[in-house]
Amino acid sequence: MSKVYDLTVIGSGPAGLSAAIYASRYNLKTLVLGMNQGGTITDAHKVCNYPGLPEISGPVLGEKMKEHAEKYGAEVKMGLVEDIEKEEGNFSLVTNLDEKYFSKKIILATGTKRRKLGLDGEDEFMGSGVSYCATCDGKFFEDKIVGVVGGANSAATAALYLADIAEKVYIIYRRDKLRAVDAWKKEIDKKDNIELIFNANVVDLLGGDSLEQVKLDNGESIDLQGLFIEIGSVPKTDLAKDLGVKLKNEYIDVDSKQRTNLDSIWAAGDITTNSNKFKQAITASAEGAIAANDIHKKIKSSN
């Protein structure tokens, strides 16, 4: 058998990388596998609530976490884990890059994926007007008219980022007021080129080769070139389901030590029942640290 890691973390966001930092400091041979180094935090153009860092971009924070984990000896590699099997008492993990790894313990930290509107044409206009990441695609809409669907923090921060790039930004929200924290709402109020449209849902996407207009269920139509969808996320639990990990309301059911119902498998971050009501980098990081600590104690007690 090839090299066997003490711990493999599946997912390279704040939960996974924090777990790797702690596990490596415990001298556990640690591997992190993920396709997006830094996870969804890299979608945030500005993070203002991570302790010790009053203001930092999401991509920079993600990179710093990765470098921190690597400094203590963790191996952070690209790869989407597609299959996990038990083999000779350990787990074998196969990635989309046809790489195979072996591990004694696993932390599932796969995070979430963006929720879609579910409209006809949504997939067709993806990359041609429809986006789920303002920091990724915002530069393509310089001096253009765009919309943001949603009313929580992610929608508010996306709109603020786009307001510095686009000519005009509409925030389209189904409720009668924003749910974002007051700090973001105050910033939005200062922007002359942000217009709020409440009690409305996007019901149709229109255009030719690219998006040109959206229709709302209040009877209005808005001419725009870009629509950024920020209506929350759903946990990525396909691997967990395949393994037989217990779910609760779509999230991985974990205890206070981040243990799942299966021996040698933990979970941390936005996919767990502990985090699903408050998805923040700091809570994800805390869960990763807790899981790594428990794994260290397990391995130490068995030696």
Strands (DSSP E) found in 134-248: 145-149, 168-172, 194-197, 202-207, 211-216, 221-223, 226-229, 233-235, 247-248
Mean pLDDT in order along the chain per 10 residues (303 residues)? 90 97 98 90 81 90 96 96 92 95 97 92 92 88 97 94 97 97 96 98 97 97 97 92 94 97 96 81 95 96 81
CA 138/CA 158 separation, integer angstroms = 9
User: Which of 43, 83, 136, 143 is flagged as catalytic?
Assistant: 136
Look-up of token digits 């691997």: 239
Q: Is 48 a catalytic residue?
A: no
- 226 closest CA partner among 161, 117, 158, 140: 140
Contacts of 206 (CB under 8 A, 6+ apart): 121, 212, 213, 214, 215
What pLDDT is stored for residue 160 in this prediction? 97
What pLDDT is stored for residue 87 in this prediction? 87
CA 104/CA 86 separation, integer angstroms = 10
What pLDDT is stored for residue 58 in this prediction? 87
User: Which of 83, 98, 123, 133 is flagged as catalytic?
Assistant: 133
User: Which of 6, 83, 120, 137 is flagged as catalytic?
Assistant: 137
What pLDDT is stored for residue 20 in this prediction? 98
What pLDDT is stored for residue 33 in this prediction? 98
Q: Is 137 a catalytic residue?
A: yes
What pLDDT is stored for residue 194 in this prediction? 98
